[in-house]
Amino acid sequence: MTESLAEIIRFGFQELGLNRIEAETRPGNAGSEKLLHKSGFRFEGLLREWMQWNGQKYDIRMHALLQRESKYLTK
């Protein structure tokens, strides 16, 4: 999974010219958060009741990676 995310990051920054890539996780999703952290993403905050699904509201944790912080870019 780490390799797949690395390719997505490279594509976003190098091919699409993005400056920032965001990722959202549900609270308690430790596996996804560990993968994001390992890939250089930083936790930015909790978006309270950001999502609604089947009538229930959910919080979302926002993570982001800036191009200048990425370890996956070829220099």
Asked, for residue 75, whether it belongs to a domain, the answer is no
User: Residue 43 belongs to a domain with what CATH number?
Assistant: 3.40.630.30
**pLDDT digit string (tens) for 44-70?**
999 999 999 999 999 999 999 999 999
CB 34 within 8 A of CB 41: no
* The total number of structural domains that make up the chain: 1
Would 74 be classed as within a structural domain?
no
Domain membership of residue 45 as a residue range: 2-69
Alpha-carbon distance values, 73 to 20, 26, 42, 47 (Å): 13, 28, 17, 29
**69: Cα separation from own chain's centroid:** 13
Q: pLDDT per residue over 5-30, tens digit each?
A: 999 999 999 999 999 999 999 999 99
**Residue 26 within any structural domain of the chain:** yes
